[in-house]
Amino acid sequence: MRRRIGRTTATHLTLATFAALFAAPIVFMILTSLKTLPEINNGSIFALPESPSLAAWSKAWGSACISGTCEGISRGFINSLAIVLPSLILCLALGGITGYALSLRASWHADALLKAILIGLFIPIQAAMFPMVIVVRELGLFGTRAGAVLVHVTWGLPFVSLLFRNYFLTIPRNIISAARIDGAGFYAILRHIVLPLSLPICAVAAALQFTFIWNEFLLSLTFAGAGHEPVTVALNILAGAQFGVQEYNVNMAATLLAALPTIGIYLLYGKIFLRGVTTGITKTRHA
């Protein structure tokens, strides 16, 4: 079966050029983060560092000042984890149960909810944001981690529920029918049959949801509040500062550090990450 377009060498050359172009911004960021400030201001971003140093990285991680606290981006990491992990667990638990219930298609309620979920995937946050601020403030959770967790779970649920539903539809119905005949209830079936079968989809959902929430900016910025800034918000404060000397090397090191966890997930999970991102409608959320 021949489907070569032109010569193989030419194809490889074109692909290598594009791959290099896509990787180039990241490479130049790494190079710049290893330079000293005078070297950055006087030299070229394409130049290799004269004497590579990790000083900017250690400052970015542990001692750069972000809104008055000089603990570097590591503080943002802790804040992010404190928001991402609870959000992730709640999203998976609720989304898993909902996805399973939806996959049974037992009533018109389930159909109505499915429609609502598909519509919910496309609603811009801006269209619900002002009332959300009012309600979260009334609950006394505005500017707290719990508030940030609450909004992230809310905006993650449609996607996770749909992901689980589509997976559960592939479980043979006979297994579930047999268990039901043997007297197992909804939660017994979920606990003893569906859950053990759903570890792969849990891994996909966890990887994607971690990436989405870690990379999210608008909800975190609005709801997390001072002192709880997650990594994207902290990074924007650090790099967006208009006053004083711009420490480009530190800022770039911080940017790379902030991107490392999700790059790591992508490199480790590669295929399932992309399958999750590109299966049918499931690609709708951008982080």
Partner 1 sequence: MFALLPTAGIIAGAFFVFVGWTVIMSFSASRLLPSYEFVGGLQYQRLLTNSRWWTSMENLAVYAVLLISGCVCLGLLLAVLIDSVKTERLYRTLIMLPLSMSFVTTGLTWQWLLNPTIGIEHAVRGAGWTTFAFDWLVRSDRAIYTIALAGIWQQTGMCVSLFLAGLRGVDPSYWRVAQIDGIPVWRTYLHVILPQLRPAFFTAFILLFAVAAKSYDLVVTLTGGGPGFSSDLPAHFIVDQLGRHELGTGAAGACILLITVAATVGPYVYMEIRRQQRA
Nearest approach, Cβ of residue 198 and partner 1 (Å): 15
CA 89 to chain centre: 14
Tell me how far apart the alpha carbons of residues 76 and 95 are, in angstroms, rounded to a whole number. 27
Tell me which residues in 258-287 interact with partner 1 (CB under 8 A). Answer: 258-259, 262-263, 265-267, 270, 273-274, 277-278, 280-281, 283-284, 286-287
> Does 154 contact partner 1 by CB under 8 A?
yes
Instruction: Let me know how long the chain is.
Output: 287
> Does 131 contact partner 1 by CB under 8 A?
yes
- Name the residue type at position 282: T
Q: Which of 148, 214, 228, 253 binds partner 1 (CB under 8 A)?
A: 214
| Nearer to partner 1 (CB atom), residue 3 or residue 172 | 3
| Nearer to partner 1 (CB atom), residue 19 or residue 54 | 19
> Does 181 contact partner 1 by CB under 8 A?
no
Tell me which residues in 82-101 interact with partner 1 (CB under 8 A). Answer: 94-95, 97-98, 100-101
| Nearer to partner 1 (CB atom), residue 47 or residue 54 | 47
What does the per-residue mask of binding to partner 1 show for 4-43, with x meaning CB under 8 A? xx--x--xx-xxx-xxx-xx-xx-xx--x-------xx-x
* 185 burial type by CB count under 10 A (0-12 exposed, 13-18 middle, 19+ buried): exposed
Q: Which of 76, 77, 87, 216 binds partner 1 (CB under 8 A)?
A: 216
> Does 243 contact partner 1 by CB under 8 A?
no
Q: Which of 48, 55, 78, 125 binds partner 1 (CB under 8 A)?
A: 125
> Does 171 contact partner 1 by CB under 8 A?
no
Which residues, other chains included, contact 272 with Cβ-Cβ below 8 Å and sequence gap of 6+? 200, 203, 204, 207
Instruction: Please report where in the chains the tokens 């030419």 appear, as a residue.
Output: 10
User: Cβ of 127: how many Cβ atoms within 10 Å?
Assistant: 8
> Does 192 contact partner 1 by CB under 8 A?
no
| Nearer to partner 1 (CB atom), residue 127 or residue 226 | 127
> Does 102 contact partner 1 by CB under 8 A?
yes
Nearest approach, Cβ of residue 279 and partner 1 (Å): 8
Nearest approach, Cβ of residue 58 and partner 1 (Å): 20
Nearest approach, Cβ of residue 252 and partner 1 (Å): 7
